[in-house]
Structure 1
Amino acid sequence: MAIDLDWLPIAFPHRIWFVLKTLVPRFKGQKLTQLRLLTVHAHPDDEASKGAATVAKYVAEGVEVMIATCTGGERGDVLNPKLKNPENEKQLAEIRKKEMAESIKVLRAKHTWLGFEDSGWPDGEPKPPLPKGCFADISIEEAAKPLIKLIREFKPQVLITYDENGGYPHPDHIRCHEITMFAYENAGRVNKYSDLGFAWQPFKLYYQMSFNSNQMKAIDNAFKELGKTNPYAEWMDESNDDSHRITTQINCAEYFDKRDKALLAHATQVDPDGDWFALPTDVAKRIWPTEDYELAITRVATKTPETDLFAGLR
């Protein structure tokens, strides 16, 4: 976590930046007129599997929440065996747009597509070249421009994205991290990208930390108590301990049902009888009632651990 106010002389004319530098640390305890949260994801369904209950909670509290999806998931597969057939595979791009719309209805957030083409999962060793013109093939700067424009239009105080590993090393997840970092650092600069709107600087940036090591241990213990096989055991064995990275835990168990409905909206991607729902929701609420984050950058004073993404801003 870093507190950085050095952006102010760049983002604002020299006659007013010193005033803002004085005021920014004083936001703590003061209510902003409207809180806004922007969460950036790689594919449709990521918004449901990574932080959906957090989104539902903040929407219910009156926060304006925007979900940005970088790609259409065109190069994905039909993962639900009940729906796997040639017709669905042929129309997958259109189906996933409809599934995304249903998920957004459940979460009651705003949504936008950033308009990039899914890079697909490169299979084989060595990895084959990425498809030309796909999301991960475009330069970080070019790919970040639609996000800079969105930040300047939506004006979020808080951003959420994946960590430097993308949550898992899919090229689109890693590029999603990269463009969000680039956009965060450049959206507030008045001397950059003037064609993308007036400068706006978010105050905080978080990494989404779903399925962190402590959470996975709790899930493993729950499966043992139930006398069931843990479908995530192999994943756990291959994962590193990242528990030290968690700075912020949002108690949102009462919105897990909405999370589940958002997941089920992505019918081609989520089997209702599959691993996603192997652990009953009532058990999940009891053993791990939070969704977890790492505060990567803050430009407002706050103390960790946090229980609110807007800590220091209200």
Structure 2
Amino acid sequence: MPASDPTERLLLVHAHPDDETIQNGATMAKYAAEGRGVTLVTCTAGEMGEILVPELGHLAADKEDGLGEHRRGELEAAMKELGIADHRYLGGFGTYRDSGMKWHEDGYAIPADPPEDGTGHGNAFWYADLTEAADHLVPIIREVRPQVMVTYDQFGNYGHPDHIQAHRVAMYAAQLAAVPSYRKDLGEPWDIAKIYWSAMSESRMREGLRRLRDAGQQTTFDGIDPEGPLPMTTPDEDIAALVDANDHVEAKLAAMRAHATQIATDGPFFALSNNLGNQVWGLEFYRIAKGKLGPVGEDGFETDLFAGL
């Protein structure tokens, strides 16, 4: 690679615009500010997302179906706030469409019901051919040559079908990209040294929910019991890394505001922030899925995703 390119490079693979900011925005801003390379690949434009801005309701999928293009602009604005210059859509914008979802009674996401008339969008990401989708990511891996990749866990963190598919595509593409004899036309092989899955600390979520409850906002998260099951979280003993990016919280919050159709500034995310302090957004957690863990801090967590390379 040219000498001007950063020596340390991070690749993130996410399903929809806003996922990257909520889960990894502070890490992204921190590494970009430090001169490390940060590349984001987004798999869909989030066409099926719920619209939280009433005056933009006409963009909904069952109306004008213009949300994806609008969220494209939101993502561009968010990336400017985080200082990220390299952002791409898997296969190019519009190659894969948001598959939609519905909620299971136990509090996690599951695939949406297919249309009764048999119609629908043939390019829904959930139904994409795995090898075909991975082949869109392989050349990016081989071009960028990241030492570290971040994506979701096998459950997509909370069950969303596109998150699960993004996990599958990212993990498979990482394997294929390292095989010297695989698709030589897609570039020189590259083996990603460390792979992480984004995580939400169970203990910290419980603490936040307890503070919301004690502040009289117990319905903010739809009545989730801070002492009950929390399917979106990860037990702290399974978390390997904690990136402290509190110095970049304001960039993350600004990026969250840029995703205005998806994140309400008076909604539960910001209510949680108000009750825990902005530190809730500056600390981001990760499970290690591949590679050797670097040195850990006093709390037992690795503090830098590039540590040990």
Quick check: 1:102 aligned with 2:95? no
* Equivalent position SS for 1:56: helix
* Equivalent position SS for 2:277: helix
Cα separation, partners in 2 of 1:188 and 1:235, compared to 1, 3 Å: farther
* Superposition deviation, residue 184 in structure 1: 1.4
Quick check: 1:220 aligned with 2:212? no
Quick check: 1:37 aligned with 2:10? yes
Distance 1:175 1:126 in 2: 14
Pick from 96, 120, 139 the counterpart of residue 117 of structure 1. 96
Answer whether contact 2:40 2:87 (CA < 8 A) is retained.
yes
* Superposition deviation, residue 123 in structure 1: 4.7
* Superposition deviation, residue 296 in structure 1: 0.9
Q: 1:161-176 counterparts in 2 under 5 A? A: 161-176=151-166
Hey, what does 1:302 align to over in structure 2?
294
Pick from 37, 42, 45 the counterpart of residue 72 of structure 1. 45
More contact order relative to length (CA 8 Å, sep ≥ 6): 1
The 10-residue stretch of structure 1 (49-58 or 129-138) with the greater mean CA deviation from structure 2: 129-138
Distance 2:281 2:112 in 1: 39
Hey, what does 1:5 align to over in structure 2?
none
**Is there any run of 5+ residues in structure 2 with no aligned partner, and where?**
104-110
* Equivalent position SS for 2:163: helix
TM-score, normalising length: structure 1: 0.80
Quick check: 1:58 aligned with 2:34? no
Distance 1:187 1:46 in 2: 24
Distance 1:34 1:170 in 2: 34
Q: 1:123-134 counterparts in 2 under 5 A? A: 123=102, 127-128=113-114, 131-134=121-124
Distance 1:50 1:274 in 2: 17
Amino acid in structure 1 at the alignment position of 2:19: D
Hey, what does 2:259 align to over in structure 1?
266
Distance 2:262 2:214 in 1: 29
* Equivalent position SS for 1:71: coil
CA deviation profile, 1:58-96 (whole Å, cap 9, x unmatched): 111111101110111122231x14434325762212111
Q: Which has the higher helix share?
A: 1
* Superposition deviation, residue 289 in structure 1: 4.8
Pick from 272, 280, 284 the counterpart of residue 279 of structure 1. 272
The 10-residue stretch of structure 1 (94-103 or 251-260) with the greater mean CA deviation from structure 2: 251-260
* Superposition deviation, residue 287 in structure 1: 6.2
CA deviation profile, 1:176-220 (whole Å, cap 9, x unmatched): 00011101112111100111111111100000003x311211212
* Superposition deviation, residue 301 in structure 1: 6.1
Answer whether contact 1:76 1:120 (CA < 8 A) is retained.
no
C-alpha RMSD of the superposition:
2.6
CA deviation profile, 1:71-129 (whole Å, cap 9, x unmatched): 11122231x14434325762212111111110110111121111332242245999437
Cα separation, partners in 2 of 1:273 and 1:245, compared to 1, 3 Å: same
* Equivalent position SS for 1:279: helix
Distance 1:131 1:87 in 2: 17
Answer whether contact 2:99 2:112 (CA < 8 A) is retained.
no
Quick check: 1:158 aligned with 2:133? no
Quick check: 1:86 aligned with 2:66? no
* Superposition deviation, residue 230 in structure 1: 5.8
CA deviation profile, 1:261-308 (whole Å, cap 9, x unmatched): 11111111122221221134583345675210001110x463553111
Hey, what does 2:308 align to over in structure 1?
312
Q: 1:227-266 counterparts in 2 under 5 A? A: 227-229=216-218, 231-232=220-221, 233-234=223-224, 237-240=228-231, 242-266=235-259
Q: Number of paired residues?
A: 279
Instruction: Give me the identity figure in percent.
Output: 34
TM-score, normalising length: structure 2: 0.82
Distance 1:60 1:281 in 2: 26
Larger Rg: 1
Amino acid in structure 2 at the alignment position of 1:302: G
* Superposition deviation, residue 174 in structure 1: 0.3
**Is there any run of 5+ residues in structure 1 with no aligned partner, and where?**
1-31
Amino acid in structure 1 at the alignment position of 2:196: Y
